[in-house]
Structures are given as structure tokens and as C-alpha cells.
Structure 1
Amino acid sequence: MRQRPTDPCPPPGPGFPGLSRRALLGAICGAALLTAPPAASAAAAGDGAGTTTGLPLLEQLPQGAPNRTLFAPQEQRFAPYLVILAPMANEIEDSDPATYGWFTGGWWRTPNAPYNARIQEHVYTLSWFHTHPRPWNPYAGDPALLARLDAALQHYLRLQHDDGSWPEYRPTEHSRAATGFGLGYLSKTLENLRTTGALPTRRTEIRAALRKAMQWFLDPGNTTVWESPLKYANQQIAGLAGAALSLRLDPDPALQEQLAERIAFIGTHGQSPQGFFYEPRGMDIGYNFEVMLPDMAELHHLMDDPTMLSMARGFAPWLGHNLVREPDGSGWFTNVAVSARTSVRALDDETREPDRTHLGSLFVPGAPGLAAFFTAREDRTAARAAWAADPTPVPALKRGNTSPRIIAHVPYGEAFPTRAQKQAAVFELPYLKQDAFVELRRDGGQDFLFVRRPGLYLGAFLGHRATPLVRSGLSFLWHPEAGMVVYSLNGDAGCWSTELADGRLDADGNLTAEYFTGAPTAQPWSGGDVPPHAPFGIRYRTPDSAITTDVTVTQQTVRRVVTTGSAASELIPLVVHPTDRVTFTDGTEAPYGSDTTATTDGLTLSRGRTTVLIRWEVPRPASLTATPTTYLRDGARRAHTLRIPHGGTLRLTVTFG
């Protein structure tokens, strides 16, 4: 196994210079607990004693605490959790024997019910603050914190089923997710407690619980975990990473062999040949990039196994097609219309804390293609310096907006790319490196189409939708100087589609597609290279053929011919900047952020040196409606929906000039 690096931010030296009197007293009390006989320690902290009333309260942070300047740069993400530590711990149930130890405050996960084991994952948070002396941490060694942690662990372990699994959404559920993530947080909690020798009885119980959970989770015959085909790969990866740490702390050759076999299995079955990780059998930018990749990095860090690095390298080209960079470098639009579970629409070039992708940066040295999508090292350093210099109090996290994974990833370190490394990776993105290609990536009846021409980059999704959240049809239209112009969202938000009079959208169906070299129906595409200057055609229709759409892509134009046979409307979700000039062809101005109507045969959007001409064949009563949806940190780019009613046939072109 690969050796874990030393803590990047070790505790202060003897005497803990800079510790407040409160913190020093806490450290002394903690030392007394550690040196007391086990019986005395258990009595002081409730170690397995089953106490159900009278848990001491944690003291609130002193006025003005924490002091931002005391935090080591990589540990700044602990600060918001320090602010809520006392409120969260003090809400642990200590009077009702049936729910003794439950985190009642709704800080993490839903449903906020005592049977939901995932709520208890904050035991890691409590254990970290108790076992890590820092100049800014007044709770290190705090006996009140230890007593409440012990109560929370008691409830957590009591929720485990006899087979080793934990419930999440109902008491009798045997949850893959609750067990997989629980393996991670309980093993990390055990690791923390071992560093100080705290709660010896409870540690024995945690070891037994982890052993039972691994026996359940790693069993290849357990179809609750290892369903066929795999649908939620992030959950299996989380459990494998937790098992890897648990076995590092408490080795077991038989379980270690099972772990290695399951890692190989998910390497074969958890990732599409096209590069994305199955969520569930489709792709999802949020779960793939923000959840699974970091947990893969943890597993890769813990085990000397090449599978995770191989998967990360395969994922990089997929991101390279589906994260579309704005020309000003401000960030990325994701191909969110195709995301099957979450709606992560845009990623800033510099991701600020809490950065959920943080740990995934460990792959950058071995998978340099991923460097494009992580915050540059210099930018993260500057952000940390600005945070430390900020004179305002550290804000408290809101209920329901916390996650133990944010701080659990800190001890593993980071490997952010330099600006130069990041820029080099950006230059290698296919739609920036090349100005002409057609790429169709297929998996399980799903067609992910990417068409690059000198004046545009077009994405489309056709075929079987993994979930109802996915929207079919044309997903995005981007220009190399103007950036994103048409951008479809998933779920109930706007997308490029045809709407029938009864409200049905073609985007909400599994669209059957054909592809052509040249205009639609000209010559069926064999799947080979398309000449750089040749048109590329797409024909797709709804399952009942109520809507048929022919799309022709040329050097700088997308042409749509929509046939419905009855009244319908063309819906185009435009991305509009405050500095854009938007005008209907009859002269009506459409101000940014407003709702405008006109009877006209087109609309012109001017952005910098680029003009976008949207034209249809005859004047119609069209409208442009601003929505609340904005993109990227500055919120300047705003979604506006262009609606064009028609009687059953529409011929429309979008041309860049």
C-alpha cells in the first residue's frame, strides 16, 4: 500500500503557542482523559455507558473567534465548521432514550429523521475537532465534545442492521449509499480517535461495525450493492474508499482480497466506454466531477492500484467535450441538458471554497488532461491569502448546507495545477485545438453528438434518456469568440425544443435519430470522418412522429426545419450578456433582463465583434422573456427564452457573422 503523507498542517509544538486559555484548558482536560484508567475515562465521557440524560453543553466560541490568521492555508475550510460546531453538537438528543445521540438539527442530509444513518456522518466532524489541537481550535480535548461524540456514535452504531448495512430513507432499508459513505466516515472517525486513544470501548464497537459493513458491502453476490448493471457508481466508489481505509486500520486478508476484486470490477463496469461514470447508466457532471472523482482520488491515494488512475484518464476526454469554456476565461458551461441527476450548470474558472472537486486534483500529475478543470495553484493561494486578510467574522454555515466530506478531504492534501499547466491543458481541449470534427459517442442507446465547425460548436443528445431529468435534442451552441449563445438546461428549465399546443416538448421524449453527410437525407453518415467543409445533417423525431426536426450544420450556420402538422412553438434558450444588443428585425429593441414581444421574422444579437442572426421565413408574433437563471459567479450571463409560434412548419437559421 502507498504510504499516506504526513499531516500537511501538523499541530503546534510543545506548549501549543498561540492557544487561548480556553483551548489550553481543553487540551489539558483531554490529556487527563487519555491518561486516566479506562473506567474513569468512560465515566467522564460516557464511553459506552448508555447514559441518556445530562450531556454537558459545549461552550460557544468567544466573541471574535475564530481568528482567520491562525489557520494554515489548507485548513481554512475547517473555519465555517468550527463556527457551527457548538450549535450542532449541542442539538444532539440527550433526553429521549429511543433517539439518544441523534443529530436533531437538520445540519446534514434529508430526511431529518432519527432512522437516517447519513445524518450521523457528522461524527467525523466532531471527532476531528476533538482530536486535533490547533491554535484556533478551543475544542481539542474538550470532554463535553467527547461525551456528545460518544452519544452520536452510540446512535449511529445502533442503527446498523444485523447484516452490516445502514438505513437512509426508511428504517427497514438496507442502503448501499448509507453503508458506503458510512464506511468512509466511521473509518475516519476511528482513525481520529486512535490518534488520542479516546473512547476505547466505542472504538472496539466501531471496528466490529466496520467489519460487518465490509462483509455486506464487498460481497459480490450482494445485488443491493452490486446491481446489474451498475447505476450509481459514486456509491460503490465511496464504499470501496471507506473499506480501503478501514482495512488499513484493521487488516483482514480475506476482505482485502475482496476489495481488490471489487475495485477491478468497478473499473470494468462503473465507467462508460465513452468516459463518464454511470449515474444511473447516463452521465451526470455534478456526481461525476464533484463526488465520484474525489472519492476515486481517495481510493487511489490509499491503495497502490492503477485502476482509479486509468479511470480518471478516461474521464478527462469526456470532460473535454462537455465542459465548454467561455472565451474570456471566466469559466465553463457544462453540458447540463444531458445530466441525469443534478443541475450543475456552470463552473467558475477559479472554484472558491467550499470546493467539492478539491481532492480530485490528486489525479492531475498522472492525468494532466484534468488540469484544465481545476483551480490553478496560484489562484487558490491568492484566495487563501485574501480569506486570511478578510476582517469580517467567519460566517456560520446554514442548516442543511453542510457536508463532512468538505473537511474530510483536507488530510489527503492537494495537487492543483500551476497556471501554466492548466493553460496547456486548456489548449488541448478538442473544440479549441481543432475547428472541424464530428464525434458521436454512443452508450446503451444514448447518442452524444459533438459537431465542431470553424464558426461554432454544437452539442446534441438523442436516443434513450437515462432519467426524466435529461432533455433531448440540441444541447448547446457555442461560438469561439462570443462564447455560449444557446444553452439548454435539464429538468423543468428551458431547453431548445418544440412545444406542441398541449404543452408537450419533443425534448421530453426518447428521440430517434439519423445522421447524414450533407443536408438531412442527402447521404447517410457511415460514422467516418466528415470533410471539414461538408454540411452535417441530423434528423430526429418523437416516438409517435408528431414532431420531426431536420438540422443542417455548416461552417457558421445551424439550420432547423421543424414539422409538426399542428400549431406549435419553437423555444430557444439564449444566453444574453448585459452588454449585448438584442434587436428584432422590425426594429424593436429587447433590453437585457426584460420581456419583449414583436411581430417579426428574426432577431439579431450583437456581442463584441460577433453578430448572431436568428431568422425564420415569415413574420410571426415572437417573444423574448428574461428568466431568473444566471451563470457563473458574476451572474451577468442571463437565460432569456425566445418563443416563435408557428402553424406546423418552421424553417429557422442561426448564423454567426
Structure 2
Amino acid sequence: MATNPIPTSFRRRTLLAAAAGGAALLAVPLRAFAETSDATGTPESTETSEATASGLPLLAPLPPGAPDRTLFAPLEQRFAGYLAILPAMTNDIDETTNPGFMGGGWWRSPNAPYNARVQEHVYTLSWFHANQRPWNPYAGNAALAGRLDAALGHYLGLQHDDGSWPEYSRNEHSLPATGFGLGYLAKTLANLRQSDALPQRRTEIERALRAGMSWLLDPANGIWRTPVQWTNQVAAGLAGATLALRLQPDAALAARLTERIDFLAEHGQSPAGFFYDPTGMDINYNFEVMLPELAEIYLLTGNRAVLGMARRFTEWFGYNLLREPDGSGWLTYYAMSARTSVAYYDNAIPDPDRTNLNSAFVPDLPQLGAFLTSREDRAAARAAWAAEPGPAPGLAKQDTSPRIIAHAPYAETLPSNAEKKRAIAALPYLRQPEFAQVRRDTVVKQDYLYVRRPGLYFGAFFGTRPTSTVRSGPGFLWHPVVGTIVHAQQSDTGCWSTLLPNGNPDGRSNLVAEYQIGDREWNGKFLSPGDAPVRVHYGLPDSRITTELTLTRDSVIRSVRATSTATEQIPLVLQPQDAVTFADGTPVAYGANAAARTDGLTIRRGGTVITISWDSVRPATVTSTSRTYLRDARRRVHTLRVPHDGRIEVRITLS
């Protein structure tokens, strides 16, 4: 029996790494691991035969009233939803057609026997088997061990000879299946060592991890192009390899790992500051997946190159999250997100929170605390959760990411309310009343324009769209008193664009742009504050639509020329208390549609007046949408459309 198993409630001071027969302990940085309450009681025996997937005992259901909210320590409340589904998920393991396949549809699609990602919940089963808690009746459970054994057998059997795993077809050599799998299998191995369970499987996992790392870290395997694409998947593999090598040291693989981390730092991050995914920015994958994986690497290694990546990303992120002045949260510049559609973040996010591990950077990078839930708000949310009546509910199928509890044992270093407030105040557009810059990526040929003037903050994207999801052109307009006024979406009907007669927006193309400030050529660097307007000339490559964009100290002007009739489209963010009228007096009710023949629209929000005017009387409509932002759902998108004959000038003035 191993005398020094790895505790999966990781300690702050050390990560204990032991082989099956016992091994020297490996120290890690002090900040790495959380202080958690000690387990109580003695586990029942986990001795079990190397189970086959035939005739496996079922895992008993939870007793009435479980999971009991009052039994969970605050940092472990995240486990409650997983405990609630554990019997059903475990008993769904196939015993006949595909023995060991976790085929209940709990995690990942396609729910197919060849998809190795479906099996990632072996970590979840192993955690509940290994860890005693007053609320966990399954620690040391023989039925759980038997079904975990079968699931591991199926999982390891999917590995290719080169060390990779498949996802979408049996013969695929998948980066995400291998990258994320390394982390889950390494943590599963730690759990099995802790409980001294399944010795044969432990040996097999060690072999599988070594082969998987050899594949992932091989510079010739096709992953390590320049720039590195799908960086969140690569970072997940590097994080998994980092932990795996602490469990079973290998000097050659460790050297290769360090070299690959440095390669990712050099080639996986845009000069603009975002992480390539695949060749552009994605709010969700950058902030919710990539950055937490980097945080795990940093916790385990203290690698300064990783900290540098986080610092550059934090600075970039500060241009793209729009703080609502009432403190309710952030709207994101998600029209330029390459893959997903996370349009906002509430100021306080309760468990489970996929960004939680990002707090590992806060002691060294306090600026990141602006975007995280404060520790006071998190404590209040956890106290409220514990006080709710009845047992904790289970998670819905497919919404059961094992990452939540795989990251849970690490320490939290969330900012205080005061620290978060200071970090927010330091954001570029809140700290500086004036700036204008293009953050340029010449590798993938993309320009990100940000202009701050006393009365507005504006952002736009030009150049090569990384995916068809991205919408080019103007992206947002924000006011320091009333918050976001215009917010582009990723759809043809919701982007800030000029529409052709067939409904296609110019934002669905690679818009080519030239920039000027005053009478000087744009040089792509920070420019001194001043009264000179920022001008952007951009258009479709075939010139069917060309636009002159002018940004003054308190207005945005778009002068559009099209070779056919067209329609101006502006996605407005309205709130229930706004007083909105067309220039002819026609009212526009919140949540309703309206139409008028007129030459403008006025929005009054508190003492601020936003005037949208166009150069002549034309028919115009405002259409309410179902798109709302933030938990209170008070901010709703209403789309203004103004048809024209091919020439129009639209001015938005803020006063």
C-alpha cells in the first residue's frame, strides 16, 4: 500500500507525488494548493478484483434529503450538484454492447463509444471514491470502484498507438481529447493513489499518460504551427502534462514540456493581446478555458512566461469588457468572438464559475481582479446557497463539466471588494478620458480599433475574420454615465452594419480599412489626446459599400455609399426607464416595435440625451428583440433600421 498518496484536496504547501510503492515528495510553490477541511472517518475497504464490465453492481441512490446543503464547506459547495447525479451517471455505464462506455449522455457530444471525451468523468467518479466527507456516502464504495474500473478500461482502450485519443471518429487523433484527457487522467491517477485503489489500472494510466505526453509535446505532430491555433486545447494538455510529470517524473519529457510552454507563450498569443482560437479572439475560450489552464500551469510551476501571457491578456481584456456604471456587470465585445457568444458577465457569479481558477493570478496580477467575483460577493452567494431549503439539485445532462470540480481543490485568491474596485478604476477607458489606438496583428491581418473621448468609448474590428461567426465593422458605443448604448451581435440581424437588398450586412465580410487622425497618417500607436477627429475609411473588397467613419469628442458619424439601395442597422441597448421617441414625436416603447417617417431618434436616460439623426426624412423602424443582458435582463436590444437609396449619413451624438 502507498504510504504517501496524493491528497486530491490539494494542500497549499505541497503536492504529494508517490508511485504505487511509495516515492519521494515533490514540493511546489506555496500558492499552489488550497487549505481544506480534513476528512473524517475511515473508508471502507476499496479492495476489488479487476472488474469486468459484466454484471457490475449498481451504485446505491443517495439517502432522502441528500445532498444536504448544510454539510458542505463553502469551498466544496461546487461538488453538491455532481454528487446529486453521481448514482445515475455511474449506473449509466454500459455493461454489454460497449463495456465501460459512459453512455448516459451526461458529458460531451457526440455521445458515442469512440468519443474519448465522454469518458472524462472518470475523474468525477474517482474523486468521490477517494475523498471522505460528511456528505459523501460513496468514499471507498466497491460498486463505484468497479464501475470506475470498467470506465477506465474503455477510456484507455481508445488511445491510439501514438498516444493520442479520438473524439469525432474512431480514427481521429484529436488535440482536445488528448489535451483535456491528460489533465483528467492525471488527476484520476492521483485519486486512485490516494485511495490505494485499482493498482492495475494505475499502472495502465501511467503508461497512457506517458504516451499521451509524448504525442502532445512532439513539435512535429501538427499542433505546433505558427501561430499556435486552438490555444485553449494546447494549454489544457500542457497543464495536464505538468501535473502528470509531478506524479511520475521524466526528465526528458519535463524538458520538452518547458520548451513547449515557452513556444506557446511566443506563438500562441496575438500581439494585440488575445489568445488565438483558432486565429482570432474568443471571449469564452480565452477567459473561461485558456486562462484557467494557464493558471494551473502557473500554480504548479511559477513559470514567469505564463504570468506574462496572463498580464498581456488582462490588459487586452480591459479594452473589450464594457463596465455598466450601475455596477451590475459587463457587456462584452463579443461580435468579434470567433466561436462562442458570451455577451455579458454579471458583477457577481455564483458557483459553479468556470473562471474561478483565474484568481490564482490575482496576487501577482491584481488588475485581473476587475473581472472576477469579489470574495465578499462569493461568500454571500455561498451563504445564501447553504440557507436555501431542500437538498441541492443535480446538474442537467451536458452541463456537467468535470473542470469545475477538477479545479475546485485549488486555493481561491479572489479580490476583495476594495481591490476589485481599484482594478476596475484602472481600466484604460475609465482611467483615461482620451486615447485612440489600433491594436494590430500583422500575422493574421486583423485590426482592433479603440477610441476614447470624453463623451464616448467606441470599438471596431477590421481585417480578416477568423471565422464566419465574427461580424466586422463597428462593435460598440459606450457612455461613461449611462453605459452601453450600441452593442453589435454576431448575427446578420443584430450587427452594426449596412445591409444590402438581400439582407447581407457588410459586417459579414473582411472589411478593408484605412485610418487617419486629423491630417496625419495613422501609425498604429497610441496618439496624443486632442480635438482632431479619428477617421476610418473602410468598405467591402468589391466596393459595393464604402463607409467614412468619423469619431469626434461626442459623436459617431457614418457616411455610407452603396451601389444599390441599402439599410442602416444599429443594435441599440435600451432600458425600461428610457424615454425614446422618433424626431416626429412617435413614441418607442421598451419591448415593443415602432415605425415612423422621420429624420431621427432620441433616447433620454437620466440626464443624458443620445440623439441619432440622419440626413433626410426617411422611413425608419425600431424592432424589439428577445436579446437581454445581465442577470436582471433589464437591458434589451432594440434594432433601429433606416432604408435608403444608397447614400446616407447617420450621426449619433451624446450629451
What is the TM-score with the length of structure 2 in the denominator? 0.94
Structural mapping, 1:519-598, within 5 Å? 523-527=520-524, 529-598=527-596
- The AA in structure 2 aligned to 1:251 is P
- The AA in structure 1 aligned to 2:329 is G
Q: State the partner residue of 1:67.
A: 68
Q: State the partner residue of 1:24.
A: none
* C-alpha distance after superposition, 1:589-635 (max 9, x if no partner): 11111111111111111111111100112111111001111101111
* C-alpha distance after superposition, 1:475-506 (max 9, x if no partner): 00000001000000124551100001022210
Matched, 1:106 2:105: yes
Q: Cα distance, 1:61 vs. partner?
A: 1.2
Q: Cα distance, 1:523 vs. partner?
A: 4.6
Matched, 1:332 2:330: yes
- The AA in structure 2 aligned to 1:285 is I
Tell me, what secondary structure is at the counterpart of 2:299? helix
Tell me, what secondary structure is at the counterpart of 2:581? strand
Q: Matched residues in 2 for 1:440 and 1:636: separation?
A: 32
Q: Which stretch shows the higher mean deviation, 378-387 or 523-532?
A: 523-532
Q: Matched residues in 1 for 2:491 and 2:209: separation?
A: 38
Unaligned 5+ segments in structure 1 are 17-26, 35-40
Q: State the partner residue of 2:364.
A: 366
* C-alpha distance after superposition, 1:511-562 (max 9, x if no partner): 11111123xxx55334452542211111101000000011111111111111
Tell me, what secondary structure is at the counterpart of 1:275? coil
Do 2:159 and 2:166's aligned partners in 1 also have CA atoms closer than 8 Å?
Answer: yes
Which of 375, 378, 398 lines up with 1:377 in the alignment? 375
Tell me, what secondary structure is at the counterpart of 1:411? coil
Q: State the partner residue of 1:79.
A: 80
Do 2:68 and 2:390's aligned partners in 1 also have CA atoms closer than 8 Å?
Answer: no
Q: Which stretch shows the higher mean deviation, 395-404 or 117-126?
A: 395-404
Q: Cα distance, 1:389 vs. partner?
A: 0.9
Q: Matched residues in 2 for 1:525 and 1:258: separation?
A: 42
* C-alpha distance after superposition, 1:45-78 (max 9, x if no partner): xx2x5x2321111111122111111101100000
- The AA in structure 2 aligned to 1:517 is I
Q: Matched residues in 1 for 2:212 and 2:491: separation?
A: 35
Tell me, what secondary structure is at the counterpart of 1:474? strand
Q: Matched residues in 1 for 2:368 and 2:585: separation?
A: 46
- The AA in structure 1 aligned to 2:545 is I
Count of matched residue positions in the alignment of Structure 1 and Structure 2: 625
Tell me, what secondary structure is at the counterpart of 1:221? coil
Q: State the partner residue of 1:453.
A: 453
Which of 12, 32, 51 lines up with 2:39 in the alignment? 12
Q: State the partner residue of 1:91.
A: 92
Q: Cα distance, 1:10 vs. partner?
A: 3.4
Q: Matched residues in 2 for 1:371 and 1:104: separation?
A: 39
| CA gap 1:306/1:493 in 2 versus in 1, 3 angstroms | farther
Do 2:492 and 2:503's aligned partners in 1 also have CA atoms closer than 8 Å?
Answer: no
Tell me, what secondary structure is at the counterpart of 1:226? coil
Q: Cα distance, 1:6 vs. partner?
A: 5.7
Tell me, what secondary structure is at the counterpart of 1:33? coil
- The AA in structure 2 aligned to 1:9 is T
Q: Matched residues in 1 for 2:306 and 2:253: separation?
A: 19
What is the TM-score with the length of structure 1 in the denominator? 0.93
Tell me, what secondary structure is at the counterpart of 2:154? helix
Q: Matched residues in 1 for 2:555 and 2:125: separation?
A: 57
Q: Matched residues in 2 for 1:12 and 1:530: separation?
A: 60
Q: State the partner residue of 2:140.
A: 141
Do 1:340 and 1:470's aligned partners in 2 also have CA atoms closer than 8 Å?
Answer: yes
- The AA in structure 1 aligned to 2:513 is A
Q: Matched residues in 1 for 2:295 and 2:365: separation?
A: 11
| CA gap 1:304/1:555 in 2 versus in 1, 3 angstroms | closer
**Structure 1 residue runs of 4+, over 4 Å off?**
3-7
Q: Matched residues in 1 for 2:462 and 2:336: separation?
A: 10
Q: Matched residues in 1 for 2:143 and 2:488: separation?
A: 51
Do 1:625 and 1:640's aligned partners in 2 also have CA atoms closer than 8 Å?
Answer: yes
Do 1:468 and 1:491's aligned partners in 2 also have CA atoms closer than 8 Å?
Answer: no
Q: Cα distance, 1:341 vs. partner?
A: 1.1
Q: Matched residues in 2 for 1:319 and 1:583: separation?
A: 35
Do 2:85 and 2:395's aligned partners in 1 also have CA atoms closer than 8 Å?
Answer: yes
- The AA in structure 2 aligned to 1:246 is A
- The AA in structure 1 aligned to 2:521 is P
Q: Matched residues in 2 for 1:6 and 1:400: separation?
A: 28
Q: State the partner residue of 2:28.
A: 2
Matched, 1:196 2:195: yes
Tell me, what secondary structure is at the counterpart of 1:412? coil
Do 1:512 and 1:540's aligned partners in 2 also have CA atoms closer than 8 Å?
Answer: yes
Q: State the partner residue of 1:485.
A: 485
Do 2:439 and 2:524's aligned partners in 1 also have CA atoms closer than 8 Å?
Answer: no
Q: Matched residues in 1 for 2:528 and 2:194: separation?
A: 61
Q: Matched residues in 2 for 1:33 and 1:500: separation?
A: 68
Which of 608, 611, 627 lines up with 2:609 in the alignment? 611
Q: State the partner residue of 2:46.
A: 33
Q: State the partner residue of 2:514.
A: 514
Tell me, what secondary structure is at the counterpart of 1:290? helix
Q: State the partner residue of 1:463.
A: 463
Q: Matched residues in 1 for 2:644 and 2:303: separation?
A: 58
Q: Cα distance, 1:117 vs. partner?
A: 0.3
Q: Matched residues in 2 for 1:527 and 1:269: separation?
A: 21
Tell me, what secondary structure is at the counterpart of 2:55? coil
Tell me, what secondary structure is at the counterpart of 2:604? strand
Tell me, what secondary structure is at the counterpart of 2:433? coil
Q: Matched residues in 1 for 2:116 and 2:246: separation?
A: 24
Q: State the partner residue of 1:115.
A: 114
How many percent of aligned residue pairs carry the same amino acid?
57
Unaligned 5+ segments in structure 2 are 1-26
Q: Matched residues in 2 for 1:119 and 1:340: separation?
A: 25
Q: Matched residues in 1 for 2:211 and 2:319: separation?
A: 42
Tell me, what secondary structure is at the counterpart of 2:542? coil
Q: Matched residues in 2 for 1:377 and 1:60: separation?
A: 34
Structural mapping, 1:179-328, within 5 Å? 179-223=178-222, 225-328=223-326
Tell me, what secondary structure is at the counterpart of 2:229? coil
Q: State the partner residue of 1:418.
A: 416
Q: Matched residues in 1 for 2:583 and 2:241: separation?
A: 63
Q: Matched residues in 1 for 2:521 and 2:528: separation?
A: 11
Q: Matched residues in 2 for 1:263 and 1:7: separation?
A: 24
